[in-house]
Chain A
Amino acid sequence: AQKITQTQPGMFVQEKEAVTLDCTYDTSDPSYGLFWYKQPSSGEMIFLIYQGSYDQQNATEGRYSLNFQKARKSANLVISASQLGDSAMYFCAMREGPILTGGGNKLTFGTGTQLKVEL
């Protein structure tokens, strides 16, 4: 079974609108972390936001928020007030297990959602 599932291969949104990118995950470990990365056409991977499995509140970073629904095993990314520069591929990723002392848990990635922001 897929550990990270992103069911939307592509999405369109109008500038200044909010958009939600879906991510569901599968793990039996009570301790895990969820990440979102942005990959613009230039290719680099840019970290956006992190949510720990024990965090009580949904993570927010500027215009990005993570809608974390633990019982449903979903971690959707919400981008408010979309901008043309938000057009990119977005990846959801998961770290399973507690954070190791020196770091270094493996990340498992979804296949991504291509977002296109239109005027």
Chain B
Amino acid sequence: EAQVTQNPRYLITVTGKKLTVTCSQNMNHEYMSWYRQDPGLGLRQIYYSMNVEVTDKGDVPEGYKVSRKEKRNFPLILESPSPNQTSLYFCASSHPARGDTQYFGPGTRLTVL
């Protein structure tokens, strides 16, 4: 089954404790992206990657890092999480066919205390 997976789905952590949210897709997509969703703000892009070893900042990159060492994986790293990073996070991947439709993972609900 074609899909984007994320882990963990839920995470409660404390300020300053480094964490990684994994994202993997099995569709051989070149493009992958991370979004955060906050009430009243819709989805905002954090980082994206056009291909292996090619990443760039989105609209809200502060406090986040990413890497793309393999085509299928695109982890999101929070080196020193803060409470304002409490949010719902989505990973997505896309292909130029069908208008470059982005397919989303199930989401990771992160709470930083």
Residues of A within 8 A of B (CB): 4, 33, 35, 37, 43-47, 50, 52, 91, 93, 95, 99-107, 109-112
Which 4 pairs show the lowest CB-CB distances between chains A and B?
Answer: A104-B31, A45-B104, A109-B42, A103-B31
Given contacts A43-B88, A47-B103, contact A104 B30 (CB under 8 A): yes
Whether the pair B42, A104 counts as a contact (CB closer than 8 A) is no
**With a CB–CB cut-off of 8 A, which chain B residues contact A35?**
99, 101-102
Using CB atoms, name the residue of chain B closest to A53. B99
Interface size band for B: 20 to 34
Q: How many contacts A-B (CB < 8 Å)?
A: 76
Please, how many angstroms separate the alpha-carbon atoms of A35 and B102 in the complex?
9
**B50 within 8 A of partner (CB):** yes
Looking at B96, B98, B100, the one whose CB has the most chain A CB atoms below 10 A away is B100
Q: How far is the CA of A86 from the CA of B40 in the complex (A)?
A: 21
As a 0/1 sequence over residues 71 to 98 of chain B, the CB contacts with chain A under 8 angstroms (1 = contact) are 0000000000000000010101011101
| Cross-chain contact of A52 among B50, B99, B106, B107 (Cβ < 8 A) | B99
**Contact partners of A106 in chain B: CB under 8 A:** 33, 45, 48, 58
Report yes or no: A104 in contact with B94, Cβ–Cβ below 8 A: yes
| Closest-CB distance, A100 to chain B (whole angstroms) | 7
Query: Which B residues have a C-beta under 8 Å from some C-beta of A?
Result: 29-31, 33, 40-45, 48, 50-51, 58, 88, 90, 92, 94-96, 98-107, 109
Whether B96 and A44, one on each chain, are in contact in the complex, defined by CB atoms closer than 8 angstroms, is no
- When C-beta atoms are compared, the residue in chain B nearest to A91 turns out to be B42
Closest to A9 in B: B40
- Docked Cα-Cα span, A33 to B102, in Å, equals 12
Kindly list chain B residues whose C-beta atoms are within 8 Å of the C-beta of A43. 88, 106-107, 109
Within 8 Å CB of B107, what residues of A?
43-45
- A102's contact among B33, B50, B99, by CB below 8 Å, is which? B50
Contact B90 A95 (CB under 8 A): no
A to B CB contacts below 8 Å, 25 in the list: A33-B99, A35-B101, A37-B104, A43-B88, A44-B104, A45-B90, A45-B92, A45-B104, A46-B104, A47-B102, A93-B43, A99-B99, A100-B50, A100-B100, A102-B30, A102-B31, A102-B51, A102-B96, A103-B30, A104-B33, A106-B45, A107-B43, A107-B45, A110-B42, A111-B41
